[in-house]
Amino acid sequence: MGKRIVITGGSGKAGQHIIRYLLQQGHDILNLDLVPLPAELEERVHTLRVDLTNTGQVYSALGSHFHLSEPFREPLGLVPDAVIHMAGYSRNMIVPDDETFRGNTSATYNIIEGASRLGIKKIIIASSLTVYGVSYAEGDVNYPSFPVDETVDANPMDTYAISKVCGESIARGFARRYGSDIYILRIGRIVAPEEYKQSMFRSYVENPGAWAPHGWAYMDARDLGQMCDRAVQKDGLGFQIFNAVNDEITNYENTTEFLARVCPHVPVTRELGAREAPISNRKIKELLGFQEEHHWMKYYE
């Protein structure tokens, strides 16, 4: 049976693919964003313009009708089954650092607090692999070990990743206070279908030594939709952090041999599969049942 799901930032690159996947599973969606959805999605999903850094707007939006009709057909007082929070500044240097921190942390706080006080027991929060402190480090920094799983210390030095760590801490506190399920997705570099044929993914494959900051991992936007759906469907895990990446390394080499060549001084803590991504998605596969559908080799030319 479909659920009523609020998504923030659904008009973005990842959000649109998440919405498409959720609609395919029969869910009813309300999008909170500052820009509209494409026409083909706008016909099925209403977008409510919301400033997520405004506490009152967030609280009001989470209690909104999902559909505009004359008259309204939805009963008053319906509480969403889940909230998926994708909105926010997606990296450093879009705005000054203080605004990156303010915008990301206040939006995440408002969503989690508002949902918790309304009695919404399932909240999914977008975090980032940047929290491991490599992507936006000052100078070259190695991951402490491979594979990188969720037990590796989140110790970034940049503002964007620090804002994500703060969001994770907010989520942990509210999950403890309200006894709710709040799942964190530490998302890798999101790749939309058309991007497999563009320069960045070609560089992943042809110049792999340059991509240590991304951990030689990626996240297909459509598979991210599946992860969000599985997170919505799986109850009872409390506060959890999941690496949100696809299964395999982003080049044609054997993973162990590749890491020995490009990161010879970084310890490997367990045997790696021949093509296993150095950022591990084992936990999300085991606890949520994620099964990759969109392997990069299917689309790369």
**Domain range annotation of the chain:** 4-192+219-247+278-294
Q: Does the structure show a pLDDT above 90 at 45? A: yes
Distances (CA, A) of 34 to 119, 237, 261: 25, 32, 45
Q: For the whole model, what pTM was predicted?
A: 0.98
User: What integer pLDDT is reported at residue 1 of this predicted model?
Assistant: 82
Evaluate whether 6 touches 82 at the Cβ level (below 8 Å): yes
Q: Does the structure show a pLDDT above 90 at 301? A: no
Q: Does the structure show a pLDDT above 90 at 205? A: yes
Beta-ladder partners of 190: 219
User: Residue 86: helix, strand or coil by DSSP?
Assistant: coil
Beta-ladder partners of 243: 186
Evaluate whether 295 touches 218 at the Cβ level (below 8 Å): no
**Residue at 246: amino acid letter:** N
Mean of pLDDT values over 182-210: 97
* pLDDT 10s digits, 51-93: 999 999 999 999 999 999 999 999 998 999 999 999 999 999 9
Query: Residue 270's CB: how many other CB atoms inside 10 A?
Result: 10
The number of residues in the chain equals 301
Tell me if the domain spanning 4-192+219-247+278-294 has CATH number 3.40.50.720.
Answer: yes
Q: Does the structure show a pLDDT above 90 at 296? A: yes
Please, which pLDDT band fits residue 219 given cuts at 50, 70 and 90?
very high
CA dihedral (119, 124, 130, 133) in degrees, to 10, reads: 50
What is the rounded average pLDDT for all residues in the chain? 97
User: Residue 283: helix, strand or coil by DSSP?
Assistant: helix
Mean of pLDDT values over 143-147: 97
Mean of pLDDT values over 19-40: 98
